A and B are shown apart, each in its own frame.
Chain A
Amino acid sequence: MKVKGAIIAAAAVMAVSAAANAATLDDVKAKGFVQCGVSTGLAGFAFTDANGVWDGFDVTFCRATAAAIFGDANAIKFTPTTGKTRFTALASGEVDILYRNTTWTLSRDVDLGFTFTGVNYYDGQGFMVRKSLGVKSAKELDGATVCIQTGTTTELNLADFFRANGMSYEPVPIETNAEAQQKYLSNACDVYTTDASGLAATRATFEKPGEHALLPEIISKEPLGPLVRQGDDQWADISAWVLNALIIAEEKGVTKANVAKLAADGSADPEVNRLLGKEGSYGEMLGLPADWAVHAISAGGNYGEIFERNVGESTAIGLARGLNQLWSKGGILYAPPFR
């Protein structure tokens, strides 16, 4: 019995190691799909629709990555991960890439052995309270009961914020967004804190969103972006440049609607031609087909389109572009040149 258990455990460890070592692109091509780690369910960012199909902001970036590799935005499988399980899932090779509202920090980049390949959403930690409490500022939250998701930078920021302001609080650690929502709505917490985008997304799903307010303080920088395992530069480059391509596409006015026409007819702008594989051999450098960016853009449009469709002001979540506007329009979204 003991021996049998040990062998099974050993086999499990072996299976894990095989996935972690080989070149990820080759593995992905061999299995025919990208395995993408996403949130367990966060309105606007990653959720399953009525037909059980994954959709959302993060999900669309995953799909664009799959489209760049296979020319097919559906050559992808999703693994829902919690704040706690996401890093283990990536480190063990269970997922190839993680698009899960994950904050880029030094220790995660260096010590956990991951590579962050860009930022697809610049966020910051905020607070949501009931309007009936009459709280106008986070500085008034002394003694409050605060719901937080465990295993996130959120709880570290929160500890820092309350310590820096000499206030006490009662943390209620929660595993997933859905549970936190239930706790907050039943008034078991005064405050729910997470990234401001997540708060807006969560509030949009409430029965009466108008009764809840986001406090003005943003207490942290939360650059959320995709990450991959450290040590596979080719895979990291692909993930980084899919994101960059979508940002450049917005900058250059390449949209889901006109990308096919531009790719066929060419454009007066040489950078657009390079982006769409008409000039140069940039796809080859990445180990992808020449028209990879065309497929990536066709999957869900450019960055701006993805933003507007999933979380933008026309949606229930209603996030303004803010920092996530292009650098040329007052935001800090800036992709290196495509050449």
Chain B
Amino acid sequence: MATISSTGDTNFRIGMLIYDTRYRSYTIQIIALIIFMLAAAWLVNNVIENLAALGKTFSFGFLNDTASYDINQRLIDYSSTSSHARAAVVGILNTLLVAILGCITATVVGVVAGVLRLSNNWLIARLMTIYVEGFRNIPVLVWILITVAVINETLPAPNQFRGADPDASPLLGGMLVLTNRGFYIPAPVMGDMSMAVVIVFLLSVGVMIGFRRWAKKRQEATGEILPLLPISLGILFLPTLLVFFLLGMPITLEYPELKGFNFRGGVFMRDSLIGLWLALSLYTGAFTAEIVRAGILAVSKGQSEAAFALGLRPGRTMNLVILPQALRVIVPPLISQYLNLTKNSSLAIAVGYMDATGTLGGISLNQTGKEFECLMLLMAFYLIVSLSISAVMNWYNERVKLRER
């Protein structure tokens, strides 16, 4: 009896690489890989040849050279005698600062706006619609420029605070000075024994977390709900304040004072930082609001109806029933918003904020003429930051996603 063998013992013919579905995908992938590698090799070769043709060498030695330029916002020690590498680090820290501040604010703004857009109050819902549509439909660069221009043009200049009858005066009894060059707030000055206050505060935080855990367990066991907020606040602040006053107020505040051309002392938040931070937060917040709204709407109506039926108030329903479920939908698209915000922060140079693009990819590049090296480093930095944000958010997503049992 003649049988047709369907196993692979037929003779292999070269045509099977294309016509046989078992091999076709491999063939295509290998060809694509070869083309890709050829293109990459050609590209690298081109770069080497062209750098040689321009008489340029490829080296990162310039990073150790003196930068000789100043940077206004420095989170670490830096002067014009520091190296280009240090200037790059200053820029990188500035990028991270605005990115972290921006991500936090964008999340808060986004969650609030997203929830409020679903509000039954017609006015609030429409206002949020205007906010969302206004911000996400205008380029972020325009918002950044507008915000900084508004700060520059509308707020008083430092010398308007001068004189017996000044045009402008500090707010909140000298605590907050709003000038068109930036905002000043008091800086804490740590005196003797101030560490004791800090330690007590940290201990209070620990105790408060412990208390909340205990309260939750107690609630699960007995069903009784304690007034969590007042007790937590009490634990958090009372011991610290007690120690603070017992030790004779070791932490004092340094107030900003007008000296010479500008205010000195206190913490100075530059117009560029504030403008960039605000614009990025509000812009990304608008997208986040839509993501939050989508997440909430994705939770079936039966969930909230069930919660209401159990007698939960709307606030509790939102916090305990809807948001935890909505998070599963919200977190994945939120990751890309965080990435966007971080990458958009490279527009900082438009308002003179010295981020990584401004130092490493800007002045250092320009003064040394090492375009290729600087841009490679810059790309590597943004890649690493983006991948780190992704990794953290993916870990969080794993935690909140539905456990299938």
* Chain A interfacial positions (CB closer than 8 Å to B): 2-3, 6-7, 9-10, 13-14, 16-17, 20-21, 83-84, 87-88, 91, 107-108, 111-113, 133, 141-145, 150-151, 155-156, 158-160, 162-163, 169-175, 182-183, 186-190, 229-231
| Smallest CB gap from A187: residue in B | B157
Q: In the assembly, what is the distance between CA of A20 and CA of B260, in Å?
A: 51
Residues of chain A contacted by B32 (CB below 8 angstroms) = 3
| Cβ of B265 to closest chain A Cβ, rounded Å | 12
Chain B residues 314-373 with CB under 8 Å of chain A are 349-350, 352, 354, 358, 362-363, 366-369, 371
Decide if B70 touches A155 in the complex (CB within 8 Å): yes
Tell me the complex Cα distance, A6–B41, Å.
10
Complex CA distance for A163 and B32, rounded to whole angstroms = 57
Report the bound CA distance from A40 to B259 in whole Å: 37
> Are B71 and A10 in touch, CB under 8 angstroms?
no
Q: Does B53 contact A (CB under 8 A)?
A: yes
Q: Which of A16, A84, A87, A142 contacts B260 (CB 8 A)?
A: A142
Q: Are A2 and B70 in contact (CB under 8 A)?
A: no
Residue B39 CB within 8 A of the other chain? yes
Q: Is the CB of B261 within 8 A of A190?
A: yes
By the criterion CB–CB under 8 Å, are B39 and A10 in contact? yes
The interface residues of chain B lying within 8 Å CB-to-CB of A91 are 54, 369
* Bound complex: CA A6 to CA B71 (Å): 36
Max chain B C-beta neighbours (<10 A), residue from A2, A6, A21: A6
Contacts A144-B260, A170-B262 given: A188-B180 contact, CB under 8 Å? yes
Within 8 A of A (CB), among B135-166: 149, 152-153, 157, 159
A169 and B70 within 8 A (CB): yes
- Residues on B facing A (Cβ under 8 Å): 32, 35-36, 39-40, 42-43, 46-47, 49-50, 53-56, 68-72, 79-81, 149, 152-153, 157, 159, 180-181, 259-262, 264, 271-272, 349-350, 352, 354, 358, 362-363, 366-369, 371
Given contacts A113-B54, A170-B262, A171-B69, 10 further A-B contacts (CB under 8 A): A6-B39, A7-B39, A13-B50, A91-B54, A133-B159, A143-B264, A151-B363, A156-B68, A159-B70, A163-B79
Question: 6 shortest A-B CB distances, which residue pairs?
Answer: A187-B157, A159-B80, A151-B366, A143-B260, A112-B369, A186-B152
Known: A159-B68, A173-B358. A6 touches B180 (CB 8 A): no
Pair A173/B39 contact, Cβ less than 8 Å = no
Q: Given A113-B56, A156-B69, A170-B72, do A145 and B261 touch, yes or no (CB 8 Å)?
A: yes
